[in-house]
Amino acid sequence: MNEFELIAKLTRALPTNESVVAGAGDDCAVLDLGVTDKLFLFKTDAVVEGFHFTCETPPGKIGRKALARCLSDIAAMAGAPIAALVTIALPQSFEPGFVGKIYDGMNALAREHGVAIAGGETTTNPERILISISLLGTVQRGKQVLRRGAKAGDAIFVTGELGGSLAGKNLDFEPRLAEAHWVAEHFTVHAMIDLSDGLAGDLRHILNASKVGAEILKSAIPISRAAKRGGASLPTSRLTGTPAPPKPPLLAALTDGEDFELLFTIASKDAVKLLDAWRKKFPNLKLSCIGKIVPGEGILIRDKSGSHKLNAHGYVHFT
């Protein structure tokens, strides 16, 4: 049973109440707490030593990454973060100075985005560090962007460049909060997700939620320099174990994960206008139109010889 099969099993009969606008199955839960002009976003995420970072990772970058992952999910809903609770689980032999530097990295990113670290929990975990963060945010009522709104004919956009994240981006990525807020403010975004597990996997989340398919252009996929240099040589467990052979750059861009860029769809009639406005607003961040939403299901990839079914998938836990 892989990650998504397990999630489907566990969420089949979750209790709910009238406050839940959107629950399991999106980047954040969306809650209506009775505030006239706002909905609330609620997100939890965890990083684990040996999987998301190693004992050699600078501790400040560990803390930064732990919070940045949650901030990226708030961005994917076009929201703004407010406050976080932090649970940190440590082995008995932990070093207080090392843990303090984890918090230094986390606190610096929190201050940058106006996030209060409002408390949390400390506990014991044999052998390795685990950090779990619960993050609360808000979004203007009616401006929340879910995964399920993509429509046939939409243009598909992705920010930045993809693949080879283990060359360093997986620790230093910038959550695209400002970019997501701007695009949702100026355009009607039909669906959005952040790319944590690879384009090939995360695009399917939008397609499955929206009950549509996609056709993407091979030549339009923005491949990072790290992927082109072979930075996509992933270990079997992402960070530990025997390194797998280097992937071809395109496959790395489609499947590596931990890019934390935005993937979203808008009406095709707005595509050129968006690209022109984006270049002026964010001249240092690439925005690529990589294809379109089509009726049906699954992903087709088009190259010079025509369209073919894309069989590649992103990262999936427990496989």
Q: What pTM was estimated for this model as a whole?
A: 0.93
Domains of the chain: residue spans and CATH: 3-140 (3.30.1330.10), 155-309 (3.90.650.10)
**Residue of 147, 138, 162 lying closest to 192 (CA atoms):** 147
Query: Distance (Å, rounded) from C-alpha 4 to C-alpha 315?
Result: 11
The pLDDT assigned to 238 comes to 54
Extract the runs of DSSP E, i.e. beta strands, from the chain.
20-22, 29-31, 38-48, 80-90, 116-124, 130-140, 155-159, 189-194, 213-217, 262-266, 287-294, 299-303, 306-309
What is the per-residue pLDDT across 130-175, written as a single tens digit (0 to 9) for each? 999 999 999 999 999 999 999 999 999 999 999 999 899 999 999 9
Residue 239 has what pLDDT?
58
pLDDT at 233: 44
pLDDT value of residue 25 = 86
Print pLDDT tens along the chain (319 aa).
877 788 788 888 889 999 999 988 899 999 999 999 999 999 999 999 998 999 899 999 999 999 999 999 999 999 999 999 999 999 999 999 999 999 999 999 999 999 999 999 999 999 899 999 999 999 999 999 999 999 999 999 999 999 999 899 999 999 999 999 999 999 999 999 999 999 999 999 999 999 999 999 999 999 999 999 875 444 444 555 555 677 899 999 999 999 999 999 999 999 999 999 999 999 999 999 999 999 999 999 999 999 999 998 877 776 6
Residue 14 in tokens? 């979750």
What are the structure tokens assigned to 46, written together?
């965890």
**What is the C-alpha radius of gyration for the chain, rounded to an integer number of angstroms?**
19
194 burial class (0-12, 13-18, 19+ CB within 10 angstroms)? buried
CB 83 within 8 A of CB 42: no
- In whole angstroms, give the CA distance from residue 62 to residue 49: 9
